[in-house]
Structures are given as C-alpha cells and as structure tokens.
Amino acid sequence: MSCWILYSDPTEFRLINWLQDFNWVADDNLVDGRYIDTYIGNVQPGDSVFVWTGDNKEHTSGIYGEGKVVPTPQEFPLTNREREYFTSSTALNNVTGLYKLAVKYGRLCLGVPLLKDEMETLGVLRTVTFGSGRHSRIQPIPEEVCTVIVRMLRGRTNMVDIQYCRT
C-alpha cells in the first residue's frame, strides 16, 4: 500500500466548503472524486490519502481529511453538485479529462486542520509541501511520513471520525 497527498488548489476548488456541506460521516455510499493528473497507474484501492488545501502562503495550508482510495464507482454520487464548488468555469474546465480518483474519507479535520506550520516542526515532514507555480494534484509520500501524519491526526480532538460517528 502507498500513501499520497491530494492537493486541492483553493483558487480553483472550495474544498473546505465541499467537505463541510455533505454528510461524509453517516453515508457509507458517499465517495468523493478527487481529480489527479499524474501517478494514475500507481494509485490503487486501499492506498492511504490525505487531502491538502492552501497555497503555502496562508496559515490555512494543511491537511483537512484522511481517507482510502476505493474502487471507482460507476457514477460518483455528487458529480452534479461539485461544479458549484469550482471557483470559475475555467477552473472546472481545468479538470475536464483528468482522472477522477475515488476516495472514501475516514477522518475529517475541518475545525482545526493539521496545518503546514505544525507539520514543519517535525523534520520528517519538511518535505511535504507543494512548490510554487503550477501544483501537482497528487504527491507520493514515504511510509514513515505517512505514519507520522496519521499519528498527528489521531492525537487531535477536533477530528470528525467517521467510524465512530455513524448513527
């Protein structure tokens, strides 16, 4: 199994609103589709993913969700709704033709995300950043970095933990 960071550019897609507005917690069938442009043949069901947003210049850059790659459904449940969360028609057109990766969230961190500044305090996490210019939508991360991120997320009290929040 591999571990990945999925980047969502806040100038293109309002990820935080997207995660807040739908009941990812109670609906077992609700699978998100994250658009990727590289590593398409490398990402497999069962791989761990962290969802990152922010432009590295703001104090909101960081991880807002943790999940697993799942098999691609025949149809993504919220495809018709997601266009409302793109910031422009140009941003929506930018993902046309990209691969849509199926993700089932296991944890969401919306109130107090795992911010870049906090992650940089640990040396092993200093490599988990997105450079300036055009961002890649996906970045592989080493297993030891994945383990540290999971440990940091599990120690937080602001997480919405899907496995414990089902009704």
pLDDT at 100: 94
Tell me phi and psi for residue 143, to 5 degrees: -55, -40
Kindly tell me if the per-residue pLDDT of 139 is higher than 70: yes
Kindly tell me if the per-residue pLDDT of 162 is higher than 70: no
**Is-contact 135 7, C-beta < 8 A?**
yes
Would you call 103 helix, strand, or coil by DSSP? strand
The stretches of the chain forming alpha helices (DSSP H) are 15-21, 79-82, 89-95, 116-119, 143-154, 162-165
Tell me phi and psi for residue 11, to 5 degrees: -80, -10
Kindly tell me if the per-residue pLDDT of 75 is higher than 60: yes
Across 60-83, average pLDDT? 90
97: left (phi over 0), alpha (psi -120 to 50) or beta: left
pLDDT at 163: 52
pLDDT higher at 66 or 122: 66
Q: Give the whole-angstrom CA distance, residue 88 versus residue 39.
A: 26
CA 134 to each of CA 8, 9, 131: distance values in angstroms, whole numbers, following the listed order:
12, 10, 8
Q: Give the whole-angstrom CA distance, residue 167 versus residue 161.
A: 12
Q: Give the whole-angstrom CA distance, residue 69 versus residue 86.
A: 22
Domain 3-165 has CATH 3.40.50: no
pLDDT more than 70, % of the chain: 82
pLDDT higher at 147 or 155: 147
pLDDT at 58: 61
The stretches of 45-108 forming alpha helices (DSSP H) are 79-82, 89-95
pLDDT more than 90, % of the chain: 38
pLDDT at 166: 40
Q: Give the whole-angstrom CA distance, residue 136 versus residue 37.
A: 7
Kindly tell me if the per-residue pLDDT of 133 is higher than 60: no
Across 72-78, average pLDDT? 89
Cβ count within 10 A of residue 138: 21
pLDDT higher at 42 or 56: 42
Q: Chain-wide mean pLDDT for the chain?
A: 83
pLDDT at 114: 86
Q: Give the whole-angstrom CA distance, residue 124 versus residue 147.
A: 10
Q: pTM of the prediction?
A: 0.87
pLDDT at 87: 95
